[in-house]
Amino acid sequence: MTDASLESKVALVTGAARRVGAAIARRLHAAGANVVLHYRGADAEAAQLEKALNAARAGSAVKVKGDLLAPVAPKALVDAALQRFARLDILVNNASAFYPTAVGEIELGHWEELIGSNLRAPLFLAQAAAPQLALAGGAIVNIADIHAERPLKGYVVYSLAKAGLVALTRSLALELAPGVRVNAVAPGAIAWPEDGQFEPGERERIVATTPLRRTGDPEEIAQAVHFLCTAPFVTGQVLAVDGGRSIFL
């Protein structure tokens, strides 16, 4: 049995302004948590979400803008949480770059952005947050991908970045125990990229090869994150939320 309430807890969610990150922030907030909404460029969306959450519960949300690839970002985000709420219980590493990098076309900039957002930033954020999380008996939840285990063709750097994030999840679960639990959620097809990376026919093929025959909803990822934030005897695990697609691949 778990206590699903997050009352009096403080959660830092990266990439929280839109899509899956916003759903996670709303879910944790609805469970009682105060939330730090990290974002990079989605100023209007971040402001709108902050306003909505504070309207629901005054003083319960704060937005913090920052580039996670900047060396000062991890400490700055943790400091922002402490300055506003005086504690930190949950870190959700959600922010992610995603685009194809076919062999023969991979550039150093691709490596820096994809590894940086999907692996380097979660590591250094976890390191910066660990002392506060340990004081609170807190948790880290990383947003991985089913393609960490089974690479997505044409997405070499992204796939290995997420594979590294899975390894980081398990490593940190050992390193930070018993004070901090560390788990990951591995989504399947949830919210299609907005830049048209997947043609309609490819989207149809992906849905057809998903046993539950549909795409997921960001709220379903948020539900899994909420569970892992409140499951006291779960650490070092990767929970696939993919409609069964990973058993077909």
The answer to the question of residue 70 being in a domain is yes
* pLDDT of the residue at 2: 56
Which residue is it, tokens 């922010």?
95
Instruction: Look at residue 160 and tell me if it is in a domain.
Output: yes
* 48 occurs within a structural domain: yes
Residues 6+ apart with CB under 8 A from 32: 5, 6, 7, 8, 9
Contacts of 184 (CB under 8 A, 6+ apart): 141, 142, 143, 144, 165, 166, 169, 237, 238, 239
First-residue to last-residue Cα distance in the chain? 32
Asked if residue 4 belongs to a domain, the reply is no
In a domain, 3, yes or no: no
Q: What is the pLDDT of residue 199?
A: 83
pLDDT value at residue 1: 41
Asked if 46 and 16 touch (Cβ cutoff 8 Å), the reply is: yes
3-class secondary-structure state, position 192: coil
**Matching residue, tokens 């709303």:** 26
Residue 235 C-alpha from the chain's centroid: 16
pTM for the model: 0.96
Active site residue 158: yes
**Number of domain units in the chain:** 1
From first to last of the 249 residues of the chain, give the pLDDT tens digit: 457 999 999 999 999 999 999 999 999 999 999 999 999 999 999 999 999 999 999 999 999 999 999 999 999 999 999 999 999 999 999 999 999 999 999 999 999 999 999 999 999 999 999 999 999 999 999 999 999 999 999 999 999 999 999 999 999 999 999 999 999 999 999 988 787 778 889 899 999 999 999 999 999 999 999 999 999 999 999 999 999 999 987
pLDDT at 192: 82
Instruction: Give kind and range of the element (H or E) at residue 62.
Output: strand 61-65
Q: Specify the CATH number for the domain of residue 164.
A: 3.40.50.720
Rounded to whole angstroms, how far apart are CA atoms 243 and 241? 6
What pLDDT was estimated at residue 33? 98
34-39 β-sheet, strand order: 61-65, 34-39, 10-13, 90-93, 139-143, 181-187, 238-241
Please give the residue range of the domain that contains residue 34: 10-248
Angle at 234 between CA 233 and CA 236, to 5 degrees: 140
Q: Catalytic: which of 39, 99, 155, 158?
A: 158
